Structure 1
Amino acid sequence: MMRTRVCLNPSRWGLLAVLRLLALGLVLTGSPAWAQVPEEPRLALPGSSPVSISSIPAPPVTRLVLPNGLVLLVQESPFEDIVAVELLVRAGVQQEGSNLTGLTSLIQDLLSDRITKDTTGQDIVEITGSLVTTQAEPDYARISLLTTPEYLEFMIGRLGQALRQRASTTSEVDQARSLALQALQGNQGAFSALYEVFLDTFYRYHPYKRTTSGVEGSVRKFDPQAVDAYFQRYYVPNRMVLSVAGKVDGTALAELVRREFASLEPVRETSVNIQWEPKASEKEVFLAAGSRLAWVFLGYPAPSLTSRDYAAMRVIHCLLGEGISSRLWIELREKRGLAYELGSIYPDLEGPSHILAYIITRPNSVGESRRRILGEVDRLKKERISQSELEDTQRKLIGNYLLERETNQGKAFHRGLAEILGLGYESDMYYLRHLQETTPQDVQRVARLYLDSATLVVARPGGRFYLDF
């Protein structure tokens, strides 16, 4: 669940420059000194000569660890007036357990109010033009701040003050709980509801089967005692990464962070026992839909963000269902007119992930849509993709990578994410290297290894009373 407070209209951050480079077939990005090797991998794209991924040096990143364990990452960009601050906390569905599902999301909403409002409930951030966003993900909690150098100290101070308040009040918990219940009781939408059904079916024991927003029954039970126990156990400095990018002075920022966060006390790390997830088996769920449309979700196991197979599966995801040039779009929509909407999902997860192809179609086209999707999956396993198709897909993925990290917020977030997951912030750059090293053989091997034992969720009028399977 994401919550955003106060709008900001930053200037365009050079996206057109990157797009022009991509249009010319150039793959240009930075590589700090620690990532350089004697012979760097190069990718020959159609109509271009091989280009090194470190053609443009990136500004160095400073990593500082406070005595209490908090990790600070800083990239100084003196010519950019927007400063991005990303605080990531190792707290998610694995820490919540089945009885506290949704608690991280509630605490994120509570922290958003602490940062943006004073004791009377008045918004004191709006005048600064800053943006505050909170989000709960399966593996981590995220607090994002976008501000200007003029108000950076103020915003860091608000963040530090919110975290130093280790006990919650009844009123703020009641308000956060009320917001959470309103969101749960609202119109969730068919897609989100079916995705939750898919997750609950796909994962047998793993906490990923639970949603970050929780369920109404558990959220109603949250009180200050439950909030404080969870907050004091997991929202601690040795489970935090603070990543900053923009027009800052690294030395002054480090002193500011020490002043605001040094008093937070670390907690001894305890292991979380994650239920063993057995090898996937074929599962089918048929639901009756209260509309004239039909939904087909077809998913498979996929490697985690930390796996060496991750880059190859990214290629498969892009090739299969990402955008109007994907195989599913061309085969199912353009050639056969089966889809009102289609695509694929491959979430970045620390643990076992999944790749999901979905289509919204006519009720009497479900059987054919399912067969066509399975046919494209089998094609990936039986036929190696051509070198030209691989290079086109790599170029698209590299372009997406560059665009996601063009802004200071993108840079700060992705480095912080790699750090909080234990990979080290520099591993975010290694993804490009792994992507460029991916071969057609790698794609076929990963497809054969993971794309087996599908989980199917179908929703259409009448449920299962069709004879097209």
Structure 2
Amino acid sequence: MTRTPRTTTARHSAERRAVARTHAPATAAVGGEPVRRTVLPGGLRVLTERVPTVRSVTFGIWARVGSRDETPALNGATHYLEHLLFKGTERRSALDISAAVDAVGGEMNAFTAKEFTCYYARVLDSDLPLAIDVVCDMLTGSVIDPSEVESERGVILEEIAMTEDDPGDCVHDLFAATMFGDSPLGRPVLGTVDTVNALTRDRIARFYRRHYDPTHLVVTAAGNVDHDTVVREVHAAFARAGALPGPDAAPGTGDAAEPVGPRGGTRAVRASGRVDVVDRRTEQAHVVLGLPGLSRNDERRWALGVLSTALGGGMSSRLFQEIREKRGLAYSTYAYTSGFADCGLFGVYAGCRPAQVPDVVRICRDELDRVVRHGLTDEEVRRSVGQLSGSTVLGLEDTGALMHRMGKSELCWGEQLSVDDLLARIAAVTPDDVRAVARDVLGARPSLSALGPFTDRQESRLREALA
């Protein structure tokens, strides 16, 4: 989805008193100047990172709600709501929203994940008031018009169909279901045709009111911004909608509202060794071999990141060399980790001809077993630490990436790590750390999800390769 904004340029002297209950610089700089953080009355958090050498700003609002917050009957509601917030407010029609940022050459978008949702706009620094006004209006003033609910239902069903036509995406949804079963983390973010068709305007509206309270929201802005100005304008926009006490409110108004903290808890992923095969008439077969991983709060995640990079993070990685370079069995293969609040996944993906799948799976499993038994070489660890360090820094070279990191860090960890802190955590990983995490994570029997046009014999060979 790509959408757009409109502005308010009025400045009131009262806004300069912004009424922040907490206004403290974060300890970290993540690319520009130190990240600054303010908590407004009512529990709304505002974080900014100033990068004075650019002329753009990416402004975003993060909601602490994702598909894992849905009941089975509400599967797809978070994503459906993401669409509907672009469809009109008390002040703007859907066309007003979409035309405003187009008029200044900006871009606007949103995405839904399993544990959060983000709405953002990237504009010139001079057009930041426009982005703030429109995005805040969308988040606080959506009317969720019944006619728009019905028209957007068709759009979402088309999006589901589009995803079904991409087996490379589908296999990852299948792997989540293999590992998490019929639980919120195992269900697709988009929902299914049946659940989307069953969602009503009233159910979506209740979901909106329950999860878009200011205490569940985080505002982030990165680029050529002034923190105090962003705070004033965000405060004014939320106050105008009645979502926060106004700048002229009596001292102490709204101070009782505390921001909702990071998710916690413990959750067990399903037992290893499951095999799910889906027949699909595709040219390639797509497979994910994987195991339960680590939660995003586990300190071993740094070592697991190095291990994942060495196994399948680049052209020099073990899996790329063994599967593609030496044997020519696949065009694309890689390893990845996914960390949630209370659990995680480690996966290896490959796309290849159906007849090659058993060999590819066997090679993947052999490499995992080899790392469990012998670990990585010192050279592999050194190279992977360097690769991970470089990609981390290069990935923060634009305002969108900085905005994303601030929002996710605040929601997921409640802190901001500087680039130097990140690099130090990666550099501290040793071969012994990698050997230990390999034994802990990769030592169990892996599960497998496969999608493609398998014959009975190919499917049998595939299951044998995992036995």
Find the aligned partners of 1:168 and 1:267 in 2 and give their Cα distance.
Answer: 27
Q: What is residue 346 of structure 2 aligned with on the other side?
A: 355
Residues 206, 276 of structure 1: 8 Å contact kept: no
1:111 and 2:85 are equivalent in the alignment: yes
Q: What is residue 188 of structure 1 aligned with on the other side?
A: 165
Find the aligned partners of 2:112 and 2:94 in 1 and give their Cα distance.
Answer: 26
Equivalent pairs, count: 423
Could you tell me how far 1:175 is from its partner in structure 2? 2.7
Q: What is residue 254 of structure 2 aligned with on the other side?
A: none
Q: What is residue 137 of structure 1 aligned with on the other side?
A: 113
1:121 and 2:95 are equivalent in the alignment: yes
1:455 and 2:447 are equivalent in the alignment: yes
Could you tell me how far 1:201 is from its partner in structure 2? 1.2
Give the 3-state SS of the residue equivalent to 1:144 in structure 2.
strand
Q: Which runs of 5+ in 2 are unaligned?
A: 6-24, 245-256
Query: AA paired with 1:147?
Result: V
Deviations 1:345-384 (A, max 9, x none): 3234333221211222233322221111011101111113
Query: AA paired with 1:34?
Result: T
Q: How does 1:25-424 map to 2 (within 5 A)?
A: 34=27, 58-114=32-88, 118-119=92-93, 121-122=95-96, 123-165=99-141, 167-186=143-162, 187-204=164-181, 206-262=183-239, 263-264=242-243, 276-277=267-268, 280-424=271-415
Could you tell me how far 1:217 is from its partner in structure 2? 1.0
After TM superposition, the score normalised by the length of structure 1 is 0.83
Find the aligned partners of 2:217 and 2:122 in 1 and give their Cα distance.
Answer: 19
Q: Which runs of 5+ in 1 are unaligned?
A: 8-31, 36-53
Find the aligned partners of 1:275 and 1:87 in 2 and give their Cα distance.
Answer: 27
Could you tell me how far 1:268 is from its partner in structure 2? 9.6
Give the 3-state SS of the residue equivalent to 1:78 in structure 2.
coil
Query: AA paired with 1:335?
Result: K
Find the aligned partners of 2:287 and 2:406 in 1 and give their Cα distance.
Answer: 35
After TM superposition, the score normalised by the length of structure 2 is 0.83
Could you tell me how far 1:461 is from its partner in structure 2? 3.3
Could you tell me how far 1:423 is from its partner in structure 2? 3.2
Find the aligned partners of 2:74 and 2:455 in 1 and give their Cα distance.
Answer: 33
Query: AA paired with 1:450?
Result: V
Give the 3-state SS of the residue equivalent to 1:423 in structure 2.
coil
Runs of 4+ residues over 4 Å off in structure 1: 265-276
Deviations 1:401-431 (A, max 9, x none): 1111111121121021010114312377643
Shift in alpha-carbon separation, 1:320–1:174, aligned structure 2, 3 A: same
Find the aligned partners of 1:292 and 1:57 in 2 and give their Cα distance.
Answer: 43
Query: What's the % identity of the aligned pairs?
Result: 25
Give the 3-state SS of the residue equivalent to 1:344 in structure 2.
strand
Q: How does 1:419-458 map to 2 (within 5 A)?
A: 419-426=410-417, 430-451=421-442, 452-458=444-450
Find the aligned partners of 1:33 and 1:121 in 2 and give their Cα distance.
Answer: 38
Query: AA paired with 1:81?
Result: R
Q: What is residue 23 of structure 1 aligned with on the other side?
A: none
Give the 3-state SS of the residue equivalent to 2:340 in structure 1.
coil
Residues 184, 216 of structure 1: 8 Å contact kept: yes
Residues 77, 246 of structure 1: 8 Å contact kept: yes
